[in-house]
Amino acid sequence: MTTRLGVAGLGWLGEALIRDAVASPAFSVVAVQDVVPDRGREVADRYAVPWHGDRYEDLLGVPDVQAVLICTPNHLHAAQAQLALQAGKHALVQKPLALSAADARQTVAAAHGAGRLLFVDYTYRFLESMAVLRDLLPSVGPVRSMRAAFHNIYGPGAEKTWFFSRSTAGGGALTDLGVHLLDLGLWLLRPGRVGLLTAKLSAEEPVEHAAELRLALDEVPFEVAVSWNASLSSTQICLEVETQAAMVRWENLDGSFFRFRTVRDGELLLDRETTLRDDTLRAFAAALADPSLVPVIDTRVYDMLDQAYGRP
């Protein structure tokens, strides 16, 4: 089955998804939209997409579109996802799903109300190397502690001004990178209770460039650390789980954004290079085909962000 996609937001991520979507038998890209009109035309020409436009409402009005990929700045995600769902489309929305827990819950409710799929692109969940870690945990538990870090030696380019405003990005590195790690922690442990113990955000204005959180997932301590423009020789992305029987670590190799491995007590379990978008699209196709494969959206991630930022 081929799902016909409309893509909103044709920046770096939007185009990266299109590149892999047009190569996949599971999808065809039938419409693209960006508020910058030339961008829509250029991308449509490059990938032979039959429709392009500059108004999101017009994209939703294209009858051929069955699912919308929302790759716009963060503050638009929740409202655009809700509009897509209400228009009868499935929605794949970039992280973060919303800029508050209330908006995240409202968007999840919109999906239930419309009977359509809402899929958040928590990219790292969908990697084979992460699946290896998750599948291993039941046999080496119980988990004693967990820590995760995303220290990116780059930050968003200065030309992407929306990343540096609370109103359009929600926050800085914690929203951009931390949302992935918070999601992974909750998805892996599925705790009954989630508590934020401490949150330290660096002092840059208007958005933080680094953050450290300490959480408790039930009784399990979970530490999260993120930064942009990290003063390291290479980017570090990792998640480490200490259990009663093992130390399991998932990490990127040599600073790569695309190559990850899973190691148990020093023994390599899996080492894979990926485009990342390919994994997201495969998981999205699987969820469209089989409701039992729809990834859970834990909106408590956004409660943690609300608390860390002191949002009401």
Question: 277-289 and 12-22 helices cross at what angle (nearest 10)?
Answer: 60
* Minimum distance of ligand NAD from residue 114's CB (angstroms): 20
CB atoms under 10 Å from CB of 48, counted, come to 8
- Total number of residues shown for the chain: 312
How far apart are alpha carbons 113 and 177 in whole angstroms?
Answer: 30
Question: Which span (33-41, 106-114, 229-237, 261-269) binds ligand NAD, by CB under 6 A?
Answer: 33-41
Contact flags string 61-80 toward ligand NAD, x per CB under 6 A: ----------xxxx-x----
Facing residues of 199 across strands?
Answer: 213
* Minimum distance of ligand NAD from residue 35's CB (angstroms): 4
Strand pairing report for 236-243 and 194-201: unpaired
Which residue's beta carbon is nearest to the bound ligand NAD? 11
Facing residues of 221 across strands?
Answer: 216
Q: Looking only at residues 147 through 176 of this chain, which bind ligand NAD when binding is defined by CB under 6 A?
A: 160, 176
HSE, side-chain direction, 13 A CA sphere, residue 218: 12
Contact flags string 94-113 toward ligand NAD, x per CB under 6 A: xx------------------
Q: Looking only at residues 204 through 243 of this chain, which bind ligand NAD when binding is defined by CB under 6 A?
A: none
Facing residues of 241 across strands?
Answer: 146, 248
- Verify binding: residue 8, ligand NAD, rule CB under 6 A: yes
- Of 5, 31, 34, 207, which one interacts with ligand NAD (CB under 6 A)? 34
Q: Looking only at residues 243 through 282 of this chain, which bind ligand NAD when binding is defined by CB under 6 A?
A: none
- Of 65, 85, 121, 262, which one interacts with ligand NAD (CB under 6 A)? 121
- Phi (first) and psi of residue 105, to 5 degrees: -65, -40
- Of 5, 6, 7, 14, which one interacts with ligand NAD (CB under 6 A)? 14
Distances (CA, A) of 76 to 33, 56, 169, 276: 14, 11, 9, 23
Give the interface with ligand NAD as residue ranges (CB under 6 A): 8-14, 33-36, 39, 56, 71-74, 76, 94-95, 121, 123, 160, 176
